[in-house]
Amino acid sequence: MSDRFLTTLAELPGRTRRFARGETLFLTGDAVTSVFLVAAGSVELVRRDADGHSIVLHRAAAGSVLAEASLFAGAYHCDAVATSSGAAHVVPRPRVLAALEADAGLALAIAESLAHDVQAARARSEVLVRRTVSARLDGWLALNGQMPEKGAWHGIAAEIGVSPEALYRELACRRKQRGLP
């Protein structure tokens, strides 16, 4: 997200919303009344497929805007679930829209940022259409570089649309192929 938009959002009057790990900040279909700037902790934007499996659309950490595209929608298109305890600066949607209307440069900055988000979403969709766990992992690695520490693998599994167990089996297979324990 644009630094200019983040700075403006942080300066707009709002309230602090504290959340616990596992808490839902909003659900698919809820009316968009506010914009969330994550101040501490992390939140995932999640959709459920027809079988009820979670697909992680985005991870917002401290300093990130949560569901910024929903600023221009009437309802949220996904669920927001805290993956750690934290807090967010919550600004009423009309206040944010007024700031964008008053400042063409700010509006351009968010438009540019949203365009980059669309490009990133398209790249992630290329990962999700791959048929095998191995191919999805290869696609994820091409986008993101190295695997994170072991504790974060569960999140990678959700992001590439496979079960944690399937990802762990694939990683074990790769270790075995390289002759590692």
Residue 56, pLDDT score: 82
Is the pLDDT at 87 greater than 90? The verdict is: yes
- What mean pLDDT do residues 59-78 have? 89
Sequence letter at residue 95: R
Which structural domain range is residue 134 located in?
130-177
- The CATH number of whichever domain residue 9 belongs to comes to 2.60.120.10
Provide DSSP, 42-74.
EEEEEEE-TTS-EEEEEEEETT-EESGGGGGSS
Specify whether the CB–CB gap between 103 and 44 falls below 8 A: no
Q: How many CA atoms lie within 13 A of 10 on its CB side?
A: 14
Say yes or no: 32 and 76 in one domain: yes
- Check whether residue 18 and residue 100 sit in a common domain: yes
Domains contained in the chain, number: 2
For residue 1, what pLDDT is reported?
Answer: 65
Q: Are residues 19 and 86 in the same domain?
A: yes
Beta bridge partners of 6: none
Q: Which two tokens stand for residue 41?
A: 């902790």
Tens-place pLDDT, residues 108-137:
988 888 888 888 888 888 888 899 999 999
- Which of 75, 110, 145 terminates a domain? The answer is 110
Residue 180 three-state SS: coil
Tokens 């979403």 correspond to 121
**pTM score over 0.75:** no
